[in-house]
Amino acid sequence: MRYSETLLPTLRETPAEAEIVSHRLMLRAGFIHKLTSGIYSYLPYGLAAIRKVENIVREEMDRAGARELLMPMVQPADLWKESGRYEKYGPELLRFNDRHERESCLGPTHEEVVTDIVRKALHSYRDLPVNLYQIQTKFRDEIRPRFGLMRGREFIMKDAYSFDVSDDAAEISYRKMYDAYKRIFSRCGLDFRVVQADSGTIGGSFSHEFMVLAETGEDTIVFCRECEYAANMEKAEVRTEENRQPDSLAGLEKMETPGKRKVNTVCEFLGISVEQLVKTMVYMADGKAVAVLVRGDRQVEEVKLKNLLGAAEVEMAEGKQVYEITGVPTGYLGPVGLNIKIVVDQEVAAMTNFYVGGNEKNYHMKNVNVSRDFQADAVADLRQITSSDPCPECGGALEMTEGIEVGHVFKLGTGYSESMQAMFQDKDGVEKPFVMGCYGIGVSRMVAAAIEQNHDENGIIFPVPLAPYTVIVLNLGLKDQAITEMAERLYRELSERGVEVLLDDRDERPGAKFKDADLLGIPFRVTVGKSLTKSGLVEVKNRKSGVTEEMVPEQLVAALLTKIAAEIDLQ
């Protein structure tokens, strides 16, 4: 491709809207053009990178036995009502009525649609297993779209759905997808980790996320130094505390704590450690108030709370709302005598003689104990894990790092097939629901994640498998016949050998061409300039290593083919 014949509008300055590295570089390198909040056009250079991901995904999905189809983006609400997700999914599901007042939605995912296809097309165990996938545009009406392609409202996704006769057969399909995903991300040249994850609004009993490691990642990953345990913060389990009940419980006392509302100030005033204080926080779960108790130095993991309560949404109540519900100002709320539902973190349930708010302004209580002084409606793991917690599997030391979710695989079970009456006949003629799995990859997000992981102060550093072009040839002498002819010759010879080449044939200063080459992140730069006329040499630079070498043009094609092959072998 000739630079002069494509749309590649690079920018010198970073647009004000860009917040993270990938967003800044995608805008500056002419990847994307913002249409409106969270919605972008993919320009030729950005689309080429996305196509690279799609090609790898297709090859590995086909290799794993999945078959491609394409489903509509617009979906009838009736299907979502059948599955029970129409209201549960929440405001991210964009709902609308057509001209006939039929309710519809823009698909954020396609479990309902594919289940409808299969229940009408497959009826016997002989038809199974089946795994169907598509690469298609999705829409989720994010309340705060940000970070460019990292969290947009419209995005490109690969989603696959498996249908099996039993849990054991579904486990085989799940493992095939798990292994295929590992190959996909390895082939893309990404540093990633597989972690246990929450299934969220997709549902199902079990899932794994594939996380690209990056300092700017939105999610925190917890992993063990001594075993293979890894999970995201939402899913990371805290080891169950053993109940440490003493021989006798101390008597309940009320203490004045004038103006002391914050955890640290209360502990300092009472002369106690933060581990002795228990926080009582009010959350609204689908509009209903619930009190949540965790130790003073802990944080509630809202996904765990949502799962415990079976709620679509949970949100911490604000001070005014707390007062309206309990009659107690924030900072002094406690469980004793509280007349709303109370759920207790398992760590608190194992504590004795702890301190809480006194349910009266300027007062706290000491020597509080679960069961004796108040009743818990539920006890569960409700807090965020920390690096000081032991590994839930082996007891070893934990570490935390940041990551970007680029893939997610789910064991769905029979939730969708039962609710939508998607049945098959087994070998004994008995009707049974399909056992399903679901497998997603954020295709456009993968490109952004790759940039987050591979860049420097000058721009993108693409892994060879994802680079829109593998080589950029710079013609630094448009008016020099020898330089121009050599640049054209190298461009032609590399192209004929199957190398994707961008020929920078613009009438621009050399400095601008060098800056754009670095910004675009093309793995190898070939410079044809004054060195050719002076000494008969051209320059080759490796974008990743920064190593530059000169060679005679006759050696260049063979040398580059060797370098490219070596880079691919490293992935």
Instruction: State the pLDDT confidence band at 464, using cuts at 50, 70 and 90.
Output: very high
Q: Are residues 171 and 265 in the same domain?
A: no
Q: What is the pLDDT of residues 263-302, one digit of tens each?
A: 999 999 999 999 999 999 999 999 999 999 999 999 999 9
Domain that holds residue 547: 469-570
Secondary element (H or E) of residue 278: strand 278-285
Does a structural domain hold residue 506?
yes
Q: Are residues 63 and 193 in the same domain?
A: yes
- Asked whether the whole model's pTM tops 0.75, one would answer yes
Q: Are residues 206 and 261 in the same domain?
A: no
Residue 86 CB partners (closer than 8 Å, separation 6+)? 77, 80, 93, 105
Q: Report helix, strand or coil for 126.
A: helix
Does a structural domain hold residue 459?
no
Q: Are residues 153 and 224 in the same domain?
A: yes
CATH no. for residue 536? 3.40.50.800
Q: Are residues 172 and 215 in the same domain?
A: yes
CB-based contact 321:282 (threshold 8 Å): yes
Q: Are residues 407 and 483 in the same domain?
A: no
Domain boundary among 380, 408, 433: 380
Does a structural domain hold residue 354?
yes
CATH no. for residue 366? 3.90.960.10
3 DSSP 8-state letter: G
Q: Are residues 366 and 303 in the same domain?
A: yes
Q: Report helix, strand or coil for 384.
A: coil
Q: Are residues 209 and 150 in the same domain?
A: yes
Residue 184: per-residue pLDDT: 97
Q: Are residues 437 and 524 in the same domain?
A: no
Q: What is the pLDDT of residues 134-162, one digit of tens each?
A: 999 999 999 888 889 998 999 999 999 99
Q: Report helix, strand or coil for 61.
A: helix
Indicate the range of 103-107, 108-112, 193-197, 485-489 predicted with least confidence. 193-197
Q: Are residues 23 and 155 in the same domain?
A: yes
* Measured distance CA(36)–CA(34) in Å, rounded: 6
Does a structural domain hold residue 99?
no
Q: What's the domain count of the chain? A: 3
- Kindly write down the DSSP assignment for every residue of 425-461, as one continuous string: E-TTS-EEEPEEEEEEEEHHHHHHHHHHHSEETTEE-
H/E/C letters for each residue in 224-245? ECCCCCEEECCCCCCCCCCCCC
Q: Are residues 412 and 477 in the same domain?
A: no
Q: Are residues 210 and 65 in the same domain?
A: yes
Percent over 90 (pLDDT), the chain:
84
**Signed CA dihedral, 57, 59, 64, 69: sign only:** positive
Domain boundary among 352, 380, 408: 380
CATH no. for residue 38? 3.30.930.10
Does a structural domain hold residue 170?
yes
Cα distances (angstroms) measured from residue 63 to each of 66, 129, 179, 435: 7, 15, 11, 22
* Measured distance CA(362)–CA(364) in Å, rounded: 7
Does a structural domain hold residue 500?
yes
Q: What is the pLDDT of residues 80-135, one digit of tens each?
A: 999 999 988 889 999 999 999 999 999 999 999 999 999 999 999 999 999 999 99
Does a structural domain hold residue 230?
yes
CB-based contact 487:517 (threshold 8 Å): no
Residue 152: per-residue pLDDT: 93
Question: Looking at residues 232-243, what average pLDDT do you find?
Answer: 78
